[in-house]
Amino acid sequence: EGLPESKCRCSCLSRDAAMNLILLSDEEEEALAEEGSGSLLLPPEDRRARHIVTVLRPEPGATVRLGLIGGGIGRARVAILEGGAVRLEPLPEAPRLRSAPPGPEPPRIEVLLAMPRPKVMMRLWAVLAQLGVRRVVLINAYRVEKAYFSSQAVDRAKYLPELLDGLEQAVCTRLPEVRVEMRFKPFVEDTLDGLSPRGEVLRLLCHPGEDSQRIGEAVAGAARAASASAASPGERLPRPRGVLLAVGPEGGWVDFELQLLRSRGFKQVTMGPRVLTTETAVCSLVTLAADALAQLQQEEQQERRLPAADVADPEAKQGGDADTATSSRRPQAPEP
């Protein structure tokens, strides 16, 4: 039946948002890949068909970029039919989307978010998908209205189209995992370790305070701590492979929640003294965390590319003049 259409009437949301990737469901990919007669017909009322007809306006024989939700990315030939319907046909030489390579994998960012107001959360879904967030946990907190959990913002049928909008914009096929947790203490104490192991995921508590670090400092500090605890100079202990951001409600975490999160390994971070909305804070925090992880991965790649001679011969790092003077006193190995 195709992908779901949102019924949200919020003026801030648009079902005709930018679409840089045509996403298909499993059933649609099966129809497209059917041997001998594979094709997919998008009816005129389908928003993907509307986008192809009114925005892309392809020439005869042109191709468009397709993606399978949770799968790969490829291309298909497109034809506009009478009445505004669109027919997609697979390219003979192209692999199926389920076996095609996916897009680039974003850094592993997870968000533990105290449930915001439903209208705010509906706007956040597409943003979180665009930014490549792996997991979103909406959690209850002392300053969260319980009625928020009965809203359309936590109804998968309502928020799924917003997630798909974000994926289409970012040319990505990986849907974030979504969890809704009504009990704060049991989740933090009993469930969190299984989802985000401490050795793999750096836990950051987003809350202003005198002892708070910047996100980049916290990520770099965790990497240095892993290197310092190595048993030998050449040993590399696992550095953080991801970041879990705990973002509180608009009124902030209460003392009990702060203490519990700190006791479970969360390090406090801040973006400064300015008071931000939930939308601005979440977007900024995720971006900063992703950038810090990308920087860490780049440094690790550079370390792996260091020549073996730099490790085996420390004198080679002393500089040009010193190296020349030292090499003149070093006995030369006999030629074979």
- Residue 253 phi/psi, 5° resolution? -70, 145
Residue with tokens 């389908």: 46
Tens-level pLDDT at each residue, the chain (336 residues) = 456 654 443 333 334 446 899 999 999 999 998 866 789 999 999 999 999 999 999 998 899 999 999 999 999 999 999 999 999 999 988 888 998 888 888 889 999 999 999 999 999 999 999 999 999 999 999 999 999 999 999 999 999 999 999 999 999 999 999 999 999 999 999 999 999 998 899 999 999 888 889 999 999 998 888 777 655 555 455 678 899 999 999 889 999 999 999 999 999 999 988 888 999 999 999 999 999 999 888 887 777 776 644 544 444 444 444 443 344 344 444 444
- Tokens of residue 88, six digits: 């997609």
* Dihedral sign computed on CA atoms, order 294, 214, 200, 164: negative
Rounded-to-integer distance, Cα 109 and Cα 127, Å: 13
The whole-number pLDDT of residue 5 equals 53
50-to-47, 168, 289 alpha-carbon distances in Å: 5, 14, 36
- Rounded Cα distance between 47 and 221, Å, is 46
Q: 288: Cβ–Cβ under 8 A, 6 or more apart, which residues?
A: 214, 215, 216, 271
Q: Is 299 helix (H, G, I), strand (E, B) or coil?
A: helix
